[in-house]
Structure 1
């Protein structure tokens, strides 16, 4: 029926039918979007610093702060970012667990004082590292090159 109406319309007006096609919606996140570049770079930098600054027998916590990514002129698909990494190493051995239980069992201190003392005594080392990172191969297997400042 629709074909018959279409043929009748073409015959009466003499015009060719116009095909209405909707634009495709983007399904994947654009890899050149700065927010995507920044999230990938943060993840790779966090892994980089946690792996290289981990102390034996310690729990490592790494926080990364990055500036806005900027595209490198002449190198498509490469992004440069300046940032800071804060790496904290905490005790996680069995001897520490006994000490932590003793602090928690103290009835003379408030819960806040106990948490602060545990945090102070558990912390082995804290470092703040300034760096510059270059992110490449964002579409296939992302790679990060870190230069310490």
Structure 2
């Protein structure tokens, strides 16, 4: 699976990312998410890379926590979902939060000020956030795609 090394890197404390690039209508959103209407149907055969990677991630987290129970190992996962459209950042999980600002901090690094983060513990939690955020994206027709997203989106998960 394409995302397996990413999961291993995350659990070893390294940053990882998957980036989809291509012209409008080429299938970036479908590759990453699958059928948005089916995201919360588990496991949908039409799910994209993101849900599949989180299935592997949470299975590995459960296995790690179980095998190291005597050490009281416990992971924490927080997710956010943002959209960049016309150089403005919007929180897709709180669409009333628009025009958010990028900031830089010595300890945090680069971050988006006032971006909401949600604690997640299961793949179901992830799918709810992906569905909610995806439905809040800006879409419009283009010559190549009648429902093209007109923005860039970033789904982030912080694992501690």
TM (norm. structure 1) is 0.22
Flag the structure with higher strand content: 1
TM (norm. structure 2) is 0.21
> Considering only CA atoms, is the larger Rg found in Structure 1 or Structure 2?
1
